Amino acid sequence: METRNQEGDAESRAPADAGCSQTHQLTARVAAALSTTILVMGLLLGLMLFAAPQEDQTSEASAEELMERLQRCQKEHRELNLMLLAVTQDSRCRLCPDGWLWRRSRCYFFSVGLQENRRWNESVEFCRQHNSSLAVIKDSAEMDFIQGVMREFPQFPFLWVGLTDAEHEGLWLWGDGTDVQHYMPLAVQWDADHRDCADLRGGGSLFANSCEDYGPWVCKRDS
């Protein structure tokens, strides 16, 4: 996981990739995809090599060919990793701004340690100002990722996410307008008339909370 820059003021952590050329960003993404593909191919070739029978000359020739292909994959994987490292050395070409974490073509901002706690609506505004929104959690893998970050910071009391029933009491909607159970079978606990904003806690639990309470939050945007 990428580490977050703990220094500098809040504005220095705003999106900083505007100066990076589209070509460099495209190169970084292509290199990352190719590197992953070649790594998978290498693993498959390795499995085929060790599973290949060794009983006759034909089998031995096949094993040698597989070994050569595996070595080529390993060499290409190393070269692509070096190219990816070189491309991303330019701070303007980072896939995410400073202080943001990258995961699966998305950038995430976890406010703890970087910003003072805010009310839910203030968190929404912060994300909006940084071309993002409070996180809408769309699958279990994304939930695991966010929970993993939360576990690194024991001071998380909870984490504001993009979920509210402010429009219609009891009807919990994500920031994209979908129902709370649209993406995963989730439920908001402790629901009450005066608790219209949802926070995320350990174990992937969602709790209704007063929107006026102060807490950390997580923004999400495309990389």
Q: Quote the tokens at residue 115.
A: 């910003």
Query: What is the reported pLDDT for 131?
Result: 97
Report how far residue 79's alpha carbon sits from residue 97's, in angstroms, rounded to the nearest whole number. Answer: 26
Question: Has this prediction a pTM greater than 0.85?
Answer: no
- pLDDT per position as a tens digit, 6-24: 333 333 333 333 344 454 5
- On the question of pLDDT at 64 being above 90, the answer is no
Which of 8-12, 16-20, 164-168, 181-185 shows the lowest per-residue confidence on average (mean pLDDT)? Answer: 8-12
Report how far residue 205's alpha carbon sits from residue 183's, in angstroms, rounded to the nearest whole number. Answer: 15
- Most confident range, picked from 60-64, 71-75, 115-119: 115-119
3-state secondary structure of 160: strand
Q: Are strands 205-209 and 188-189 parallel, antiparallel or unpaired?
A: parallel
Query: Span 38-51, mean pLDDT?
Result: 58
Query: What is the reported pLDDT for 112?
Result: 92
3-state secondary structure of 49: helix
